[in-house]
Amino acid sequence: MAGPLTFTLLCGLLTVTLAETTLRPPAVLSLGREVIKERLTQELKDHDAVNILQQLPLLSTIREKPAGGIPILGNLVNSILNHIIWLKVTSANILQLLVQPSDEGQGLAVKIPLDMVAGLNTPLVKTIVEMHMQTEVQAIITVNASERGHTHLVLEDCSNSHGSLRISLLQKLSFLVNSLANKVMSLLVPALPKLVKTQLCPVIKEAFEDMHVDLLSLVRAPISLGSNHLEFDPLSPAIKGNVIQLKLGAKLVNSQGNVTKWFKESAVSLTVPALDNTPFSLTVRQDVVNAAVAALLPQEELVVLLDYVLPELARQLKSSIKVISTKAADQLGPTQMVKILTQETPDLLLDQGTAKVAQLIVLEVFATNEAHRPFFTLGIEASSEAQFYTRDDRLMLSFNEISSDRIHLMNSGIGLFNPELLKNVTTEILNSVLLPNQNGKLRPGISIPMVKALGFEEASSFLTKVSGIKHPAPGRAQFLGRALSWEVGPALQC
């Protein structure tokens, strides 16, 4: 796909509004007219629509009811047509399609300009008499409801655009030949629209149906999340202005192909921003995004022999514990062990246009690798800045430095103490052990199959705000009320 086109991938924040009862989908795919135009143009090529135009039976059609069926005049015209050996389209082109809101405002009007040259062969002249024919086909994309209440996109009212037909001679010949050509052109004026409707419109409709099927298959393409997959299912379409919106359901599928979580329509609202000049956008509810992050970073336990892997941190930990208990510090051996358990999967949060993740972590310290009970158990409410960026067709996510926002003493075998005394060293341990482990799992990124399927190669990303309200969890209100946006597009070729 040529040109500086982009698409926007938007992570819309859940909004709880008690007065709102309309059910909202987990995701919405918005397709701009540029995508419709490009895809339908390709489908018309694949269905060999130009060849259909070149095979139009012009001569047999104008011979059916010449001169409006008036007997005397018809006989005269028939005698003229007898001087024609053949009449056919010698060259045809489908020009750039135009997609815009229909006049009624209930659908999208697709206008397909046709440019053709027809050749007329007659014994009256040795050369081919050529006529230039220009016309425009128009069809309407609308949302149709079946008897069962299901809605789907259809293409209807395909016909020649009123007043769009132009036929002219490409060269002037003798008076007799020009008169014959003019009569043929007058007969083509009513015949060509009829041929367009009977010969070309069925091909256009078939091309649209195949385009629709292809787009739905792109929507259903699984998005890999480690050993899991995120899959979207089309629910219903809608046409808003010059944009087709597909409401999508979502589900999380494990490596065995079993659905582990369904995301259905709910009463929470989902803000779908305007496309503007962007060809298409994917807007995803916050709970779906959090589930995707959770699939990449499931709960896990990390065990580290600190003195072997991070000796400097082992010395810092021993010094910090010595302030609490000299006896406990002296018991720390060369195989002192630290266990880190992510008690919950990371929760994606947003604050003033920047993304953050919050997670609950349990950290235990053992005197040796043979000890059955830890010196103490700490509960840590941690957070990190999250950076979203794109690489080719992949959405990338990485965490920056971990901060220990709150630290709690959950259990202690060395007496009660203020856990803040260990805040600095435990934060260093988390940044040295947990952070690289999580970023390593995030490093492959999230491939969005529809990017390259629609002709995009490279991407850029940015954060944007979308206002929203959500009942906050304790201690997390400051992160809520925003949304995340990524804009992705192809590299400009020089």
Residue 441 lies in a domain: yes
Query: Residue 354's pLDDT is what?
Result: 75
Determine contact, residues 95/88, Cβ cutoff 8 Å: no
pLDDT tens profile 179-197: 888 888 988 999 999 999 9
**226: which DSSP letter?**
T
pLDDT tens profile 28-58: 888 888 889 999 999 999 999 999 999 999 9
Residue 429 lies in a domain: yes
pLDDT beyond 60 at 26: yes
Give the chain's mean pLDDT. Answer: 82
In angstroms, rounded to a whole number, what is the distance separating the alpha carbons of residues 378 and 295? 25
Are both 178 and 65 inside the same structural domain?
yes
Mean of pLDDT values over 186-215: 94
Query: Residue 408's pLDDT is what?
Result: 95
In angstroms, rounded to a whole number, what is the distance separating the alpha carbons of residues 238 and 10? 19
In angstroms, rounded to a whole number, what is the distance separating the alpha carbons of residues 470 and 269? 10
* Helix, strand, coil share (%) of the chain residues, nearest 5: 30, 35, 30
In angstroms, rounded to a whole number, what is the distance separating the alpha carbons of residues 309 and 245? 53
446, 470, 487 - which closes a domain: 446
pLDDT beyond 90 at 139: yes
Are both 186 and 305 inside the same structural domain?
no
Tokens of 257: 């192909």
Mean of pLDDT values over 374-398: 89
Closest CA to 208 of 162, 157, 146, 145: 157
In angstroms, rounded to a whole number, what is the distance separating the alpha carbons of residues 247 and 25? 6
Closest CA to 9 of 445, 385, 390: 390
**454: which DSSP letter?**
T
Mean of pLDDT values over 74-95: 78
Q: How many CA atoms lie within 13 A of 14 on its CB side?
A: 21
Number of domains in the chain: 2
For the domain that residue 421 is a member of, what is the CATH number? Answer: 3.15.20.10
**Phi-psi group of 424: left, alpha or beta (phi > 0 → left; psi -120 to 50 → alpha; rest → beta):** alpha
Query: Residue 254's pLDDT is what?
Result: 92
What backbone phi and psi angles, to 5 degrees, belong to 446? Answer: -115, 110
Query: Residue 78's pLDDT is what?
Result: 61
Query: Residue 174's pLDDT is what?
Result: 78
Q: Place 24 in a pLDDT band, splitting at 50, 70 and 90.
A: confident
Side chain identity at residue 92, one-letter code? A
Residue 467 lies in a domain: no
pLDDT tens profile 299-340: 999 999 999 999 999 999 999 999 999 999 999 989 999 999
23 or 162, higher pLDDT: 162
Residue 235, C-beta contacts closer than 8 angstroms, at least 6 positions apart: 25, 246, 247, 248, 249, 265
Ordered DSSP codes for 350-384:
EETTEEEEEEEEEEEEESSTT-SS-SEEEEEEEEE
Are both 45 and 176 inside the same structural domain?
yes
Specify which residues 377 forms β-bridges with: 364, 411
Residue 92 lies in a domain: yes
403, 429, 446 - which closes a domain: 446
Are both 66 and 174 inside the same structural domain?
yes
Mean of pLDDT values over 445-470: 62
160 or 492, higher pLDDT: 160
Query: Residue 77's pLDDT is what?
Result: 56
Determine the angle formed by the axes of helices 423-442 and 311-324, rounding to 10 degrees.
140
77 or 127, higher pLDDT: 127
Residue 240 lies in a domain: no
In angstroms, rounded to a whole number, what is the distance separating the alpha carbons of residues 195 and 332? 91
**DSSP run (H or E) holding 252:** strand 243-253
Buried b / exposed e over 436-460, threshold 16 CB at 10 Å, is eebeeebeebbbbbbbeebebeebe
Closest CA to 183 of 273, 254, 120, 255: 120
Which of 13-17, 96-100, 173-177, 286-290 bottoms out in mean pLDDT, i.e. has the lowest?
13-17
Give the largest Cα separation in the chain, rounded. Answer: 123
Determine the angle formed by the axes of helices 71-81 and 175-195, rounding to 10 degrees.
110
Residue 222 lies in a domain: no
Query: Residue 209's pLDDT is what?
Result: 95
Percentage of the chain exceeding pLDDT 70: 82
Alpha carbon separation from 448 to 164, 229, 243, 260, 455 (Å, rounded):
42, 12, 21, 21, 12
Residues in the chain: 494
By CB neighbour count within 10 A (0-12 exposed, 13-18 middle, 19+ buried), where does 146 fall? exposed
Are both 173 and 311 inside the same structural domain?
no
Range of the domain at 191: 41-98+106-141+157-200
pLDDT tens profile 258-275: 999 998 887 665 667 677
pLDDT tens profile 409-428: 999 999 999 999 999 999 99
pTM (predicted TM-score) = 0.80
Alpha carbon separation from 401 to 5, 184, 299, 310, 387 (Å, rounded):
35, 79, 19, 18, 11
For the domain that residue 54 is a member of, what is the CATH number? Answer: 3.15.10.10
In angstroms, rounded to a whole number, what is the distance separating the alpha carbons of residues 101 and 241? 6
Q: Following CA atoms 117, 118, 122, 127 in sequence, which dihedral angle do they give, to the nearest 10 degrees?
A: 20
Closest CA to 336 of 382, 303, 367, 294: 367
pLDDT beyond 80 at 132: yes
In angstroms, rounded to a whole number, what is the distance separating the alpha carbons of residues 424 and 91? 78
Are both 54 and 191 inside the same structural domain?
yes
Which residue's structure tokens are 């001679």?
169
pLDDT beyond 60 at 68: no
Residue 128 lies in a domain: yes
Which residue's structure tokens are 């779908």?
272
Tokens of 275: 């496309």
Residue 176 lies in a domain: yes
Determine contact, residues 31/243, Cβ cutoff 8 Å: yes
